[in-house]
Structure 1
Amino acid sequence: MPIVAQSSNETTDWVSRFADEVIAESERRAPGKKDVVVASGLSPSGPIHLGNLREVMTPHLVADEIRRRGRTVRHLLSWDDYDRYRKVPVGIPGVDDSWAEHIGKPLTSVPAPGGSAYANWAEHFKAAMVDSLGALGVEYDGISQTEQYTSGVYREQVLHAMKHRGDIDAILGQYRTKKGPGKKSQKPVEEAELEAAEGSGAAAEDDGSGSAGYFPYKPYCGNCEKDLTTVTAYDDDSTELTYTCSGCGFSETVRLSEFNRGKLVWKVDWPMRWAYEGVIFEPSGVDHSSPGSSFQVGGQIVGIFGGEQPIGPMYAFVGISGMAKMSSSKGGVPTPADALEIMEPQLLRWLYARRRPNQSFKIAFDQEIQRLYDEWDKLAAKVADASVLPADAAAYARAVGTAAAELPRTPRPLPYRTLASVADITGGHEDQSLRILGELDPERPLASLDEVRPRFDKAQAWINTQVPAEQRTVVRAEPDTELLVSLDERGRESLRLLLEGLDSHWSLDGLTTLVYGVPKTLEGLDADARPTAELKAAQRSFFALLYRLLVGRETGPRLPTLLLAVGVERVRKLLSA
């Protein structure tokens, strides 16, 4: 079922506010026009990471809100696959130093990594993002800039830019002496802040200046295919253009009115597209806020093409917490595909929807993912009982589906931390997992693992890819007799009380009551006694003892889940002298 649309008066979230502004701006620019155009741009120069995803999710959420209000929206996603290949990324399987010979070529002219099923470098890295956007429910119109330029779609715009190169040069000249902030250094991946614009065409390039004058067009060499070219002459009337290549020494003269092997320099290309496509809304990364940046300069250049600069926020960094090195082989930075391996699409959408674009946030690959899931499940419960705040309800609705339909969801969403514990303890053994999960709630036993999928599969993937082997749970095969015989009277009594209560408390809630209740009984307290510092200390001591006897260390999965996983007979064996 589609999610019920909410008007901007019913919510106070950032998405609704931007939707209001975009609709108003669209009406101002073209009264009565039905289509609203929003845009994103991504460069498939390597793995497209979770920071880059903000470039797409921000306009997607705004576009989807506009659709919920009954308007037609086009979300254009420009694949900047005609950008130059700048460097050989590290850590890419199937890629070695020999790829350096392709630096300077269009991304679509660079071979794909070894073993890839795709035709070229750009298609290889685009494919993973296309799959992830599909899983996230993102609706868009993809545009290949290679196809646009090489088919001559932008020919009139290119000729127009060359004719008005003096005007463009004058605008750029106002900023050439101004320096923006230095490049933000990358932190290790475990604490990485992923610059959202890093994978877009916003990367630094020359602006077209040269000793022969200013030319906003850059040919790719007809001999070596690289952009190591310099325009040395251009005639407006005949459109004859002469260039030389510093890489291979090749030179030729072509008619630009017939020539399609080149592109406008980035600071001209971007505003040209705004005008050509009629873009109303497009966000930009923090690198665009400095003097002379692409977005700032583009706001002036776009007028040369008869257009207006889009409205849109500057968006902040996306951080990563705790991604294991074993999972960062795809270039050292986590991608949407990495995140979707360990979390459901709804949770990932929610992380982008609940924070304003100018707010940074972290995506958890470590134990924090369990807390995030707890928070998500609490929000779902509040939505169900109508106690949720309006802005939180809006973020939830945007996470679980789009204007078209809800995303597929886990039929019975058991707590992620419970599923992860079961996957950890059983090593992914399905029969064992079903037995344990089926005993969580005896009044409503689980009949099939399909009821907890895909969440269970995500939790299992998290255990397998993000939890180091030395931190995984291995249940003892034999009792620790040395520890058992060394226990004092209080320790032996605590085990006796636990073992006596197993049969009558054999469920997740029952065992929770039991393991917390044993120390209360030893302290002479009622079952509903309020926790004190002394009681908490006694409970921690008891828990540590159970962990040592069951798994050989003082911490582990939640004890009720662990006890269910071990099974009543084995628990009795391991806790009895």
Structure 2
Amino acid sequence: MADGTTDRSPHAGETQRSRPEPTDWVTRAADDAIRHAGELAPGQVITCASGASPSGPVHLGNLREFLTVHFVAEEIRRRGLPVRHLHSWDDYDRFRKVPAGVDPSWSDHIGRPLSAVPDPGGCHVSWAEHYKEPLQRSLAELGVEMEEVSQTERYRAGAYREQILHAVARRGEIETVLARYRTKKVEPEAAPEGLGAAELESTAEDDLDAATSGDSGADDLARFPFKPYCRQCGRDTTVISAYDDDSADLAYACSACGFEGVTNLRTQDEGKLVWKVDWPMRWSVEGVDFEPGGVDHASPGSSYTVGKDLVRLFGGRAPSFVGYSFVGAGGQVKMSSSRGGVPTAADALQILEAPVLRWLYVRRAPKQAFTVDFGPEVVRLYDEWDSLGRKAADPLKRDAQVLAWERASSTSSAGTLPTPRVVVPFRLLSSVADVTAGSAELIGRIVADVGHPHDDVADLEPRLGRAMTWMHDYVPEDERTTVREEPDVARLAALAPDEAGWLRLLLERLPDRLDLDEVTTLVYGVPKLGRGLALDDAPTEEVKADQKRFFGLLYRLLVDADRGPRLPTLFVALGSDAVRRLLTPA
């Protein structure tokens, strides 16, 4: 108000209170999960589940599996309800193929559980752990907390013996369900830019389900819902020859090593249910109330639609479900942590603050495909994020966009995720990093001089480090700025009269200590002075044409290019002495 007091009128308060609470896809998914759970018994929690097969780098598309569940669980927790994010590592899935760059001899392990395949790098105990561990680090940085389950440990501990025996006893009914869906064609989703067909595998592998091919017939052992791993070679290249319902003895032969043996489903744990039976079985055992999946999982005849019928055989019901679309990658992507040519969360976190990466996933409905751009779009993305942060500071502007910002910025366990104490635009940090060869201390001094004072360079982190990494690793070398070491004597000697006049006016007024606003006014104002106008006069069409020529001249004399970072920023980064030296004719 005019006297400096706060407007506490009933009308003002009523306006703020009457604003409806914003909602988004997370709100709706949480509503569905809560409805699915119904009235909770004492000690019962709402279970939101995710799953991933660590058969290779868990790329940015697979990250959607984790973050979708995380955001929904966080919303349920915000409402004061008990909830858990249960994540299954499908490390008992078969090793299916040797990726590029790995010793071809690893083909000997095809068919073995991922947890039993050696890590070719020798840095982890298994292939599965090699890909789990870096993702676990990234998820911790992203504020994602999960109750993790290894399916290798569950199966080998006999946790599912009862369910396996139940599935085998009702294999005829299972086959009837599978046969009903077998003729339904599943159309794959088109891949967005940045992901090829090889990267579009589901996070929960459809492990060459034996129950999805061949002729129908309830007693056909080729359609048996359980697949043993060979006791001798450890592969799933087994063919079932007989099963005795009374003793639970299952006889098989291995086509890879020739071993013939018998495993008892009541006392031994040497295999697993095929995927389309395994998934609904676990819904029942774990009491899953919400679980997302790639949109392919919800297509006719796919895992979720089949599972909705099969879960009833285990006395359960299908969880609420959202299908998510794929996530692509754009720009020059340097995969430092991934093998196989797809960017991972660790790659994205090299240049994106954790809240910004989270925001990319929460601001869009899961069915919307999008691209994480590692190129010039990064600058615009940070600008948009900073603008949204300023909007979020005003309670009267709280809407669905601000709600997404809030979800991205903090978690119930970690609180507010790391952001810079002093927020400097990413475009400024990256531009200064470009022309200073990445010296953090020098960058800190320059940004302080241009209006972002701070006590220590650490106040600029984690954004400063990401800006430096982006400029060094993700911006093509031919697009970076290389400052001249010596003046361009030939060009300075060939200046046109108006060009010489512009440089003279610039150098006469260039202060020893450069302030960004003053330099901006001067650089844009020199052509005005050349036309007899004042620095603060509006530019005429002639002045605008002169400015274009003047800026091109400055870029050529300073960085030997037709364009570069904003000239005022470049001036401040170089300092007055260097600018004078490069622009002064001999």
TM-score, normalised by the number of residues in structure 2: 0.91
1:16 is the counterpart of 2:27: yes
Cross-structure match for 2:475? 467
**Secondary structure of residue in 2 paired with 1:77:** strand
**Secondary structure of residue in 1 paired with 2:261:** strand
Rounded Cα–Cα distance in structure 2 between residues aligned with 1:502 and 1:386: 44
Alignment of 1:528-543 (within 5 A): 535-543=543-551
Of 31-40 and 557-566, deviating more is 31-40
1:160 is the counterpart of 2:171: no
Contact 2:323 2:367 (C-alpha < 8 Å) held by counterparts: yes
1:25 is the counterpart of 2:32: no
Query: For each residue in 1:294-334, what CA deviation from the matched residue of structure 2 results, as whole angstroms up to 9, or x when unmatched?
Result: 11101110111111111121111112111335658632000
**Secondary structure of residue in 1 paired with 2:121:** coil
Contact 1:423 1:433 (C-alpha < 8 Å) held by counterparts: yes
**Secondary structure of residue in 2 paired with 1:419:** helix
The number of equivalent residue pairs is 563
Alpha-carbon distance, 1:537 to partner: 4.1
Match of 1:275 among 254, 270, 284: 284
1:136 is the counterpart of 2:142: yes
Cross-structure match for 2:568? 560
Of 14-23 and 149-158, deviating more is 14-23
Query: For each residue in 1:135-173, what CA deviation from the matched residue of structure 2 results, as whole angstroms up to 9, or x when unmatched?
Result: 000011011000010110111111111111111000000
Give the structure with higher Rg (CA).
2
Contact 2:228 2:272 (C-alpha < 8 Å) held by counterparts: yes
Cross-structure match for 1:200? 204
Paired residue type of 2:120: P
Rounded Cα–Cα distance in structure 2 between residues aligned with 1:323 and 1:148: 41
Alpha-carbon distance, 1:268 to partner: 0.3
Rounded Cα–Cα distance in structure 1 between residues aligned with 2:322 and 2:495: 63
Of 347-356 and 240-249, deviating more is 240-249
Rounded Cα–Cα distance in structure 2 between residues aligned with 1:279 and 1:196: 25
Match of 2:71 among 38, 61, 72: 61
Give unmatched runs, 5+ long, in structure 2. Answer: 1-16, 215-219
Alignment of 1:165-204 (within 5 A): 165-182=171-188, 184=190, 189=194, 198-202=202-206, 204=208
Query: For each residue in 1:318-361, what CA deviation from the matched residue of structure 2 results, as whole angstroms up to 9, or x when unmatched?
Result: 12111335658632000000000111101001111111111111
1:547 is the counterpart of 2:555: yes
Query: For each residue in 1:265-297, what CA deviation from the matched residue of structure 2 results, as whole angstroms up to 9, or x when unmatched?
Result: 000000101111111111110211322111110
Rounded Cα–Cα distance in structure 2 between residues aligned with 1:385 and 1:507: 30
Query: For each residue in 1:460-499, what CA deviation from the matched residue of structure 2 results, as whole angstroms up to 9, or x when unmatched?
Result: 1112211222322221011112111222222122222322
Alignment of 1:459-538 (within 5 A): 459-503=467-511, 506-524=514-532, 527=535, 535-538=543-546
Rounded Cα–Cα distance in structure 2 between residues aligned with 1:70 and 1:8: 22
Alpha-carbon distance, 1:226 to partner: 0.5
Alpha-carbon distance, 1:517 to partner: 2.6
Shift in CA distance, 33/328, structure 1 to aligned 2, threshold 3 Å:
closer
Paired residue type of 1:151: A
Shift in CA distance, 342/392, structure 1 to aligned 2, threshold 3 Å:
same
Query: For each residue in 1:22-44, what CA deviation from the matched residue of structure 2 results, as whole angstroms up to 9, or x when unmatched?
Result: 2222226x567741100111111
Cross-structure match for 2:84? 74
Alpha-carbon distance, 1:573 to partner: 0.5
Alpha-carbon distance, 1:545 to partner: 1.4
Rounded Cα–Cα distance in structure 2 between residues aligned with 1:413 and 1:494: 35
Cross-structure match for 1:411? 421
Cross-structure match for 2:438? 428
Contact 2:199 2:342 (C-alpha < 8 Å) held by counterparts: no
Contact 1:16 1:62 (C-alpha < 8 Å) held by counterparts: yes
Contact 2:211 2:222 (C-alpha < 8 Å) held by counterparts: no
Paired residue type of 1:12: T
Shift in CA distance, 251/440, structure 1 to aligned 2, threshold 3 Å:
same
**Secondary structure of residue in 1 paired with 2:211:** coil
Of 460-469 and 330-339, deviating more is 460-469
1:375 is the counterpart of 2:409: no
Match of 1:107 among 94, 99, 114: 114
Shift in CA distance, 212/430, structure 1 to aligned 2, threshold 3 Å:
closer
Rounded Cα–Cα distance in structure 1 between residues aligned with 2:142 and 2:522: 41
Shift in CA distance, 135/185, structure 1 to aligned 2, threshold 3 Å:
closer
1:222 is the counterpart of 2:231: yes
Of 393-402 and 191-200, deviating more is 191-200
Cross-structure match for 2:127? 121
Alpha-carbon distance, 1:563 to partner: 1.1
Contact 1:53 1:196 (C-alpha < 8 Å) held by counterparts: no
Rounded Cα–Cα distance in structure 2 between residues aligned with 1:201 and 1:278: 21
Paired residue type of 2:92: Y
Shift in CA distance, 263/374, structure 1 to aligned 2, threshold 3 Å:
same
Query: For each residue in 1:219-252, what CA deviation from the matched residue of structure 2 results, as whole angstroms up to 9, or x when unmatched?
Result: 0101111101122211222111111111111111
Of 54-63 and 211-220, deviating more is 211-220
Alpha-carbon distance, 1:409 to partner: 1.7
Query: For each residue in 1:156-213, what CA deviation from the matched residue of structure 2 results, as whole angstroms up to 9, or x when unmatched?
Result: 11111111111100000012222222575686x4x76996753332465332767535
Contact 1:436 1:564 (C-alpha < 8 Å) held by counterparts: yes
Rounded Cα–Cα distance in structure 2 between residues aligned with 1:202 and 1:366: 34
Matched-pair identity in %:
51
Shift in CA distance, 249/399, structure 1 to aligned 2, threshold 3 Å:
same
Contact 1:196 1:285 (C-alpha < 8 Å) held by counterparts: no
Match of 1:299 among 300, 308, 311: 308
Paired residue type of 2:182: R
Rounded Cα–Cα distance in structure 2 between residues aligned with 1:381 and 1:41: 36
Contact 2:227 2:273 (C-alpha < 8 Å) held by counterparts: yes
Rounded Cα–Cα distance in structure 1 between residues aligned with 2:20 and 2:206: 36
Cross-structure match for 1:233? 242
When the two chains are superposed, the root-mean-square deviation of aligned CA atoms in Å is 2.5
Contact 1:168 1:301 (C-alpha < 8 Å) held by counterparts: yes
Cross-structure match for 1:3? none
Paired residue type of 2:359: W
Paired residue type of 1:109: A
Shift in CA distance, 489/377, structure 1 to aligned 2, threshold 3 Å:
same
Alpha-carbon distance, 1:541 to partner: 2.5
Paired residue type of 2:106: W
Alignment of 1:306-317 (within 5 A): 306-317=315-326
Shift in CA distance, 9/233, structure 1 to aligned 2, threshold 3 Å:
farther
Contact 1:166 1:214 (C-alpha < 8 Å) held by counterparts: no
Alpha-carbon distance, 1:80 to partner: 0.6
**Secondary structure of residue in 2 paired with 1:503:** coil
Rounded Cα–Cα distance in structure 2 between residues aligned with 1:299 and 1:313: 14
TM-score, normalised by the number of residues in structure 1: 0.92
**Secondary structure of residue in 1 paired with 2:125:** coil
**Secondary structure of residue in 2 paired with 1:357:** coil
Of 490-499 and 37-46, deviating more is 490-499
Rounded Cα–Cα distance in structure 1 between residues aligned with 2:166 and 2:487: 82
**Secondary structure of residue in 2 paired with 1:207:** helix
Shift in CA distance, 193/31, structure 1 to aligned 2, threshold 3 Å:
farther
